Amino acid sequence: APPDASTYDIEVDNAEVEEEEEFLEQQDAAEREHNFRFEEEKGTSIVSYSRNIDDSARRVDDRRKKQRERKRLLKEQKKQEKLEEINRLRNLKKLEINERLKQLEQTSGGVQFDAFDLDEDFDPDKFADKMAEKFGEDYYGQ
């Protein structure tokens, strides 16, 4: 059976509409391309790059880092040496004080000075009491 004239008109009209829509889409694309020809393609996204590139031929320059580390170690070493020197001088001072105490014991006739704590702070009242106890009237009465 031959196609109806009415269905033929609809098919032709649909084909024309599709062609016209395709033409309009092409026209819009051409206009968009012309209007945005100076814009960057991926202007809406920010491109980021890795901070460290693994396969780079660039040599890692860490001279400043090494120099800072050397300075830190040197400073630490000097601080340690200073502490050791202070401890050595402190020990020498203790030995000197102990020697003086021994001399005092010998010259005072055997009075013991063990009650003094050399590490605590000096208290004049406490010192006066201990000296009065050691060298009181009894000592001079001998």
Q: Is residue 95 part of a domain?
A: yes
pLDDT score at 139 = 65
- What average pLDDT does this structure show over 113-131? 76
- For residues 89 and 85, what is the distance between their CA atoms, to the nearest angstrom? 6
pLDDT score at 92 = 96
Q: Is residue 12 part of a domain?
A: yes
Q: Is residue 47 part of a domain?
A: no
Question: pTM here?
Answer: 0.40
Q: What is the pLDDT of residues 50-77, one digit of tens each?
A: 887 777 777 888 999 999 999 999 999 9
CA atoms within 13 A on the CB side of 84: 6
Q: Is residue 59 part of a domain?
A: no
pLDDT score at 30 = 93
- For residues 93 and 111, what is the distance between their CA atoms, to the nearest angstrom? 22
End-to-end CA distance of the chain: 157
Contact status, residue 115 vs residue 130, Cβ threshold 8 Å: yes
Q: Is residue 21 part of a domain?
A: yes
Q: Is residue 120 part of a domain?
A: no
Q: Is residue 135 part of a domain?
A: no
Count the domains in the chain.
Answer: 2
Residues of the domain holding 75: 71-106
pLDDT score at 91 = 96
Q: What is the pLDDT of residues 7-34, one digit of tens each?
A: 666 666 777 888 899 999 999 999 988 8
Residue located via tokens 């790059």: 49
Q: Is residue 30 part of a domain?
A: yes
Mean pLDDT of the chain: 82
Query: Three-state SS for 15?
Result: helix
